[in-house]
Amino acid sequence: EKFKTSPEGKLAREYFLKRGYTMSVAEEFKIGWAPDDWRQLFEFLSKKGFSETLLLKSSLVARSAKGTTYDTFQGRLLFPIQNLQGKTVAFGGRILKEDPAAPKYLNSPENPIFQKRKELFGLNLAKKFVDRDHPKILVVEGYFDFLGLYNAGFKNTVATLGTALGDDHVRVLKRFADEAIVVYDGDKAGEAASLRGLEIFVEGGMNVRIARLPIGFDPDDFVKKNGNE
């Protein structure tokens, strides 16, 4: 609720809307934000009765070298990462105030219920929209690439979680589709990642194709500019 209405959430709201999405999309995907505060979540959950040991195990908080406990996510737009059963197991956060010392995107560290080499963002939704006659899944790199395609009607889309495609990803995808279509950014890094992904899928025994985007486009802004067709 605070993300949608509070003055503190204004920066996160403005960023999300500027990217071309509505608050109803945020609601559908349970997108929120982490305030730019180093212990707000830790203190809130502690008052709710959660132990520091459990919070550290969940990776929602971390401990500094000096022994101080602090929130893992600060000043970020937050995407809940859900497993195949639709249960939230981790978060991905996009920084709101650019900071050269901090990563643009930050995912929850691995913990007992989250291994990023086995999870794909949006697969819990995409699996419902795979065409049974032509079972294929689109694979993109980022959260906004996923949102862009899903929102435009390409609901059989998943995103990797800031990690390279691996054998485990292919094993999971093969349960739902015969073919993967890799749609990465139209730049050198995207091309290299596409080719690496191609090898992984081939080695895993899954059909794969690459959708090449024009230079300078990612899937999100390409579909916004050019439309579904």
Mean pLDDT across the stretch 160-179?
A: 91
At how many degrees (to 10) do helices 143-151 and 219-226 cross? 30
- Residue 81's pLDDT is 96
DSSP 199-229: HHHHHTT-EEEE-PPPTT--HHHHHHHH---
Q: What is the pLDDT of residue 11?
A: 95
Whether the model pTM is above 0.85: yes
For residues 179-213, one letter each, b for 16 or more C-beta atoms within 10 angstroms of the residue's C-beta and e for the rest, the string is ebbbbbbbeeebbebbeebbebbeebebebebeeb
Report pLDDT for 143: 95
Mean pLDDT over 37-63 rounds to: 96
Whole-angstrom CA distances from 154 to 29, 31, 137, 138, 146 are: 15, 19, 9, 8, 9
Judge whether residue 205 has pLDDT over 80.
yes
pLDDT value for 103 = 94
Please state the separation of Cα 150 from the chain's center in Å.
13
| Residue 214 φ/ψ, nearest 5 degrees | -60, 150
